[in-house]
Amino acid sequence: MVRSTWPRYDQVNVQEGLGAWLAEQGREHHTVGLTSFRHQDFGLADLLQESPHQFGPRAGSVATVALPSGPGGLTRRCVQCAVYLITEADGRLALLVRGPDDHGPAENVTIEAVSAEEDRAQRALDDVRRLGVEHNVFRGQMISFSGDVFGPAGFGFAPGAQLSFLDRPQVQRDQVILPAQVLDGIERQVLGIARHGRWLLASGQHLKRGVLLHGAPGTGKTHTVRYLLGQLPGVTVVVLSGPALGMIAEACSIARTLQPSAVIVEDVDLIAEERMPHMGQHPLLFQLLNEMDGLAEDADVTFLLTTNRADLLERALAQRPGRVDHAALLPLPDAEARRQLIRLYQGSLRLDLTDPDAVITRTEGVTASFIKELLRRAALFAAESAAQAAGDARHEDQPLRVTDEHLTAALDQLLDTRNELTRLLLGSQAPRTPQHEPGSSP
């Protein structure tokens, strides 16, 4: 009798591997469901007793759970507890399959196997594990352990962590408003290595890489990551942020198994702040460093890290080659970049401005997020004006017309000292533009 264990997030892949193994030619099986198995600590040996405990599991229906198996809400029915009685040409064996029990002793996915042959049970579990990797539903997909980074929340797997399949973003290059040399450098390290990986390996060069995007909040770090991921079809992506940062080991395990892959760590400064004598240690930092160091040189794994506070990062993470190979500062947009951002974020708004340069001058020092919010507020002012003027005859299916008056009102509101917290949340450090009384000197 032998036993094998998988992490709880892998239950759907265990089911895929088991299903593929059972379907192989020359193998027949009968499934026996179990009842009263929850919160019970038992194994195949207990079930094989002639007189099992009266309060133990009994034969019954097969308990299953629907788990995510792909984007768009795709699910797979997975067995929670059942015995498989298997007949093969060279003998028989039995498997006990148990899924995780949130409030019981079974924290992971387990399969126990028993056979009269010495190594037959172990070979069966090895085959299920191999086929689980071969048919892995995560391969080539974007998954998140946090539930809401690039997409909607998913299914709960553990307290503080969720697993969901995300749609791959489709951000075009001309929608990334960054200095050319900055974007070129990022693309070369992420997309260039992915594109020329086999050539680099043949030349004795390593593939694993760490890229750090840093800059003020709202300068486009997540937006840039979204663009890069859209350019990597077929690459397995694991996204970590918020409470799920504690699942670094799990994310790296998936990335290592399903190469080519990428691990996205949002706000890495939350786990990688500079260690000070009075601050103690940071176990999550050590986990991240160990995972990055532990990958083979030919591992086709990208670590994409973002932070608002590069100055707080642990030197061991930021300064040692092989951990972070490329750090890119995403700057505040200059005047030309602000013009491009206005065109990008205006959507179908009709900008009817007599002095387009006025808003460019007054938005010195703001972020892309600030520009986006500015246009939304200007649109709201335009909608209020149009509704008041048209009354019941208004045409809400027509694009709004934004004038200098609307844009100035929105900008005054955002730059007002009473909105200092709003500007901070948008990443803007633009000072308030004073409003002068008529006749006063500027």
The pLDDT tens digits for 164-177 are 899 999 999 999 99
Dihedral angle sign, alpha carbons of residues 105, 111, 114, 119: negative
- The pairing of beta strand 161-166 with beta strand 142-144: antiparallel
CATH T-level topology, domain 142-329: Rossmann fold (3.40.50)
Q: Which residues, given as ranges, of the chain have pLDDT below 50?
A: 147-161, 278-279, 432-442
> What is the reported pLDDT for 58?
74
For 321-368, what is the HEC assignment?
CCCCCEEEECCCCCHHHHHHHHHHHCCCCEEECCCHHHHHHHCCCCCH
- What pLDDT is attached to residue 420? 72
**345 phi and psi angles, rounded to 5 deg:** -95, -5
Rounded to whole angstroms, what are the CA distances from 390 to 41, 167, 355, 380, 393?
71, 40, 26, 15, 5
Q: What is the CATH number of domain 335-425?
A: 1.10.8.60
Q: How much is the pLDDT for 257? A: 94
The domain ranges of the chain are 2-134, 142-329, 335-425
> What is the pLDDT, as a whole number, of residue 162?
64
pTM: predicted TM-score of the whole model, two decimal places: 0.84
Q: What is the pLDDT of residues 347-357, one digit of tens each?
A: 999 999 999 99
